[in-house]
Amino acid sequence: MNIGIDKIGFAAPSYVLDLADLALARQIDPNKFKVGLLQSEMAVAPITQDIVTLGAQAAAAILTDEDKAAIDMVIVGTESSIDQSKAAAVFLHQLLDIQPFARSIEIKEACYGATAGLSLAKSHIAQFPHSKVLIIASDIAKYGIASGGEPTQGAGAVAMLVTADPSIMILNNDNVCQTRDIMDFWRPNYDKYPRVDGKFSTEQYTDCLTTTFDYYVEKTGKSLADFAAMCLHIPFSKQGLKGLQAICHQDEETLNRLTERFHEAIVYNKVVGNIYTGSIFLSLLSLLENSQSLKTGDAILFYSYGSGAVCEIFSGTLVEGYRNQLLTDRLDQLNARKRLDVTEYEAIFFEEIKLDEAGNAIDLPLDDTPFALQNIEQHKRIYRKN
């Protein structure tokens, strides 16, 4: 049975900051971000837009009533949870009107969580071929004002529907993982922002890739020449490019071809920024919607990396008619986001919800996006569908 991605949707928050403006405000050469990191803009979420509202918006854009009646598992991958106990998937299950007899869970392992969700979904569909599984990768990447990671922030959600006989991409059975206990990026429960050993994290990203790829080649007998494109986790676009170059140094023709596809695969990531666990799937969406070279039957290689660290290399094969599931105006939608200056960005992205003594915040600003946090009542988050 072929199992894979049947639909894929994306949502970004309403605001965007130009990294050239950020560079000027921080007295940094703008080319450090534009050329050095290969990033040009980053998405900015206000307090009324969180991993639940972004996830709901991404999923609502792709689901039909028929899908909602067939989905019996909702998986959210995130490292920016809104609750230490209740899964964001439970809020999403309700907001999206999914039939009640479903399992709803949250998976955490830094930027790798949603990839683990994809494997879980595949196993579930293998057991129950008529089911559908909704995976939502939703995160808000925030490092703090004037921090080292500030230009690599972002926010957004990718939703994927996993089914038998998918309409976009079959997931192949060639997954290879690696786990190594390292402290490159982590967020203790008492910290608002992650702690990050920036340079170490970039080295570990690449070393996990090269060593896992060697094992992948040994296990599967495949080589990079077998793939039409590669999608990698994109904390910032230059990191992905360096990763590709690190495993493709001997064959110039393959490197040139995969580099061309890589630039198509970062069109959205460059203007959204890091969305942690959704970044690799945003890159897939960018590749599919911006490449004219891909065709049915092409194989795509994936490298998912979550700090801490767990990584996975796997592949997928495009199916006939996959273009019918895509949008042609997504970049226009992203360009329509409200542009912030640096003072507005600092006020909006770092605003904190103030609770009264009883745990209420009833005066949140009105937000007319499709899903928004309306208020907090006795420590309970209340969402609104607009």
Nearer to ligand CAA, 48 or 138 (CB): 138
Q: Of 15 and 303, which has the nearer Cβ to ligand CAA?
A: 303
One residue of 81, 193, 198, 259 binding ligand CAA per CB under 6 A: 198
| Residue 148 is assigned to a ligand binding site | yes
Residue from 81, 94, 202, 375 touching ligand CAA (CB under 6 A): that is 202
Binding track, positions 95-134, relative to ligand CAA; x by CB under 6 A: ----------------x-----------------------
Distance CA 121, CA 128 (A): 10
Q: How far is the CB of 19 from ligand CAA (least distance, A)?
A: 11
Secondary element (H or E) of residue 69: helix 65-70
Query: Would you say 15 is a known binding-site residue?
Result: no
Contact 132, 6 (CB under 8 A): yes
* Beta strands 71-77 and 132-141, pairing class: parallel
By the rule CB under 6 A, 32 interacts with ligand CAA: yes
With H, G, I as helix, E, B as strand and everything else as coil, classify residue 99.
coil
Q: Is 149 in the site for ligand CAA (CB under 6 A)?
A: yes
Q: How many residues sit in the footprint of ligand CAA (CB under 6 A)?
A: 27
Determine if 333 is a binding residue for ligand CAA (CB under 6 A). no
Where b means 16+ CB within 10 Å and e means fewer, 259-295 reads eebbbbbbbbbbbbbbbbbbbbbbbbbbbbbbbeebe
35 binds ligand CAA (CB under 6 A): yes
One residue of 201, 286, 304, 315 binding ligand CAA per CB under 6 A? 201
The residue whose two tokens read 């909602």 is 68
Q: Is 206 exposed, middle or buried (0-12, 13-18, 19+ CB in 10 A)?
A: middle
Determine which residue in the list 129, 148, 297, 321 makes contact with ligand CAA, applying CB under 6 A.
Answer: 148
Question: Which residues 265-304 are close enough to bind ligand CAA by CB under 6 A?
Answer: 274, 276
Q: Are strands 169-171 and 3-11 parallel, antiparallel or unpaired?
A: antiparallel
Q: Is residue 49 within 8 Å of 27, Cβ to Cβ?
A: no
Residue nearest ligand CAA by beta-carbon distance: 36
| Chosen residue from 39, 80, 307, 325 binding ligand CAA by CB under 6 A | 307
Please choose, from the candidates 5, 38, 12, the residue with its C-alpha nearest in 3D space to the C-alpha of residue 262: 38
360 annotated as ligand-binding: no
- Neighbouring CB atoms inside 10 A of 173's CB total 11
CA-CA distances (angstroms) from residue 32 to 20, 24, 217, 240, 301?
9, 11, 35, 16, 29
Query: Which residues form the catalytic set?
Result: 79, 111, 233
C-alpha 117/C-alpha 369 separation (Å) is 27
Q: How many other CB atoms sit within 10 Å of the CB of residue 69?
A: 12
CB of 44 closer than 8 Å to CB of 17: yes
**Min dist. Cβ of residue 291 to ligand CAA (A):** 23
The nearer residue to ligand CAA, 133 or 280, going by C-beta atoms, is 280
Min separation Cβ 21 and ligand CAA, Å:
16
The stretch among 82-90, 166-174, 229-237, 291-299 that binds ligand CAA (CB under 6 A) is: 229-237
Per rule CB under 6 A, is residue 36 in the interface with ligand CAA? yes
Q: What minimum distance in Å lies between the beta carbon of 207 and ligand CAA?
A: 11
HSE-CB at 184 with a 13 A cutoff on CA atoms is 23
User: At closest approach, how far in Å is the CB of 276 from ligand CAA?
Assistant: 5
Q: Is 143 labeled as ligand-binding?
A: yes
Give the binding range for ligand CAA (CB under 6 A) out of 32-40, 98-106, 210-218, 220-228.
32-40
CA angle 16/17/21 to nearest 5° reads 160
Residue from 121, 123, 115, 122 nearest 77 by CA = 115
The reply to whether 216 sits in an annotated binding site is no
Residues making up the annotated binding site for (3S)-3-hydroxy-3-methylglutaryl-CoA are 29, 143, 242, 274
Residues making up the annotated binding site for substrate are 148
Applying CB under 6 A, which residues contact ligand CAA?
29, 31-32, 35-37, 111, 148-149, 151-152, 184-185, 196, 198-199, 201-202, 205, 233, 235-236, 239, 274, 276, 305, 307
